[in-house]
């Protein structure tokens, strides 16, 4: 029983880490897509006040 509990906790931690990695990749892809849209249409470029 104790092994099962600890294994459950470790698997949960692993899945949280995997979610983090999945989102990191998605974030990278999203930013790349925005960049390519800006290359195609410079009107989408950030202005000087951004951020």
Positions 1 through 51 that interact with other proteins (CB under 8 A): 1-3, 5-6, 8-10, 12-17, 19-27, 30-31, 34-35, 38, 43-47, 49-51
Shortest Cβ 51–other proteins spacing (Å): 4
The C-alpha torsion from 23 through 13 and 7 to 4, rounded to 10°, is: -100
- Cα Rg for the chain, rounded, in angstroms? 20
Shortest Cβ 44–other proteins spacing (Å): 6
Size (the chain), residues: 51
Angle at 9 between CA 4 and CA 15, to 5 degrees: 120
Residues that bind other proteins (CB under 8 A): 1-3, 5-6, 8-10, 12-17, 19-27, 30-31, 34-35, 38, 43-47, 49-51
């Amino acid at each position: 029983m104790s092994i099962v509990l600890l294994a459950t906790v470790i698997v949960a931690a692993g899945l949280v880490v995997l979610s983090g990695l999945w989102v990191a990749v998605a974030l990278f892809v999203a930013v790349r897509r925005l960049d390519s849209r800006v290359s195609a249409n410079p009107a989408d470029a950030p202005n000087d006040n951004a951020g």
